[in-house]
Structure 1
Amino acid sequence: MAASLNLQEGQSSTRPPRFNGRFYSWWKVRMHDFLMDEDKNDGEKTMLVPKPRQKYDEVDRKKIERGYQAKTLIVCGIGPDEFNRVSAYEFAKEIWDCLKTTHEGTEQVKESKIDMLTSLCENFKIKEGETFYEMFTKFSSITNELRSLGEPISMSKQVRKVLQILPKSWESKVDVITEAKDLKVLTIDSLIGNLKTHELNRNHDLSKKEVKKDKSLMLK
């Protein structure tokens, strides 16, 4: 059975995450963290040295070496199609920028994506019969994409949005959360956990009522 997303390879703290041409935003965030972790472990940030090669000192050579290591890690995290796009580039940043432009587009395209995702977020609603897990997965996909494009939605706005889209039957629960919690510091994960617990309890109570109803009908 095929794995979901692009989780076929690279699920290791010692190997770069694998990009198969899909879900670029997911890969970009993970690869960025992976490269930053490598830099942290080495104690130095990767950067180019703007001076003639004959004037390089030991520190410059180490930075150049780290640059090629970063290039190797990125190349190891992409497939053959993506490699063909970047094979002519010498530096890690050139490869990174090429992949970013290819999959996120130019600044104009990026702005259009941000506008579209912002609109999706503002008009987001929970569907009939949809569980909170399903709703939260879709909502997170939008907010994470916006964050990867440099337009993060604040935690408090996410919390308020989720509370706004809850069905009318959840009005009493929304009131309880609003009164008991400081929405400015409440995390979206805490909110969803709270709502999922309430959902489970509601479903359990409904199941018990159905059982009692069935028993009552049988007795009649």
Structure 2
Amino acid sequence: MKTFLRAYDLWESMEKGYTPPENSNNLTVAQMKPAKVESTNNFKCLSFLHSAVAESIFPRIVASSTAKEAWDTLQEEFQGTERVRAIRLLNLRRDYENLKMKDSETVKDYISKLLEVVNQMRIYGEKVTD
């Protein structure tokens, strides 16, 4: 999803978050344009998130009023807290260290298992070099 939002030049808007102006009636013309762009980017991001998630996940983010709020909800739901991520990463490191090729296993199957563990480690923030 990050890549998708970066492709549409929306990721910075997602990271920064969106706060609607407190008194939009008193904005000058110079202030209105950036506020409108920020609002549009927020709702584009939110729309992309709504369309990207499965129907079973959608109810969890439908009440979010900003894209950042929806993103944070999804992150908490699927990656967990910092402590949970650290524990999962430790388990993945252990799996990586203990991974051995079985006699009945093909090289292709072994490489697939290895890449699966490495990709999971990368998802949780581990820097794995080739």
TM-score band, normalised by shorter chain? 0.7 to 0.9
Matched, 1:98 2:52: no
Distance in structure 1 (CA, Å) of the matches to 2:106 and 2:38: 50
Deviation (angstroms), 1:49? 4.8
Deviation (angstroms), 1:114? 0.5
Q: TM-score, normalised by structure 1?
A: 0.51
What residue is the counterpart of 2:43 in the other structure? 68
Match of 2:109 among 115, 134, 147: 134
Distance in structure 1 (CA, Å) of the matches to 2:79 and 2:100: 26
- 1:76-119 deviation per Cα after TM superposition (whole angstroms, max 9, x unaligned): 01122211111111111111111111111111111110110011
Matched, 1:152 2:127: yes
- Where does structure 2 lack aligned partners over 5 or more consecutive residues? none
Asked if the contact 1:49/1:60 (under 8 Å) is kept, the reply is no
What residue is the counterpart of 2:17 in the other structure? 48
Moved over 4 A (4+): none
Corresponding pairs, count: 122
Match of 1:119 among 80, 94, 111: 94
- Where does structure 1 lack aligned partners over 5 or more consecutive residues? 1-30, 156-220
Q: 1:104 to 1:48 in 2, by over 3 A?
A: closer
What residue is the counterpart of 1:38 in the other structure? 8
Q: Which amino acid aligns with 1:35?
A: L
Q: TM-score, normalised by structure 2?
A: 0.83
**Larger RCO, structure (CA 8 Å, separation 6 or more):** 2
Asked if the contact 1:114/1:149 (under 8 Å) is kept, the reply is yes
Q: Which amino acid aligns with 1:70?
A: C
What residue is the counterpart of 1:192 in the other structure? none
Q: CA RMSD in A?
A: 1.9
Give 1 or 2 for the bigger CA radius of gyration. 1
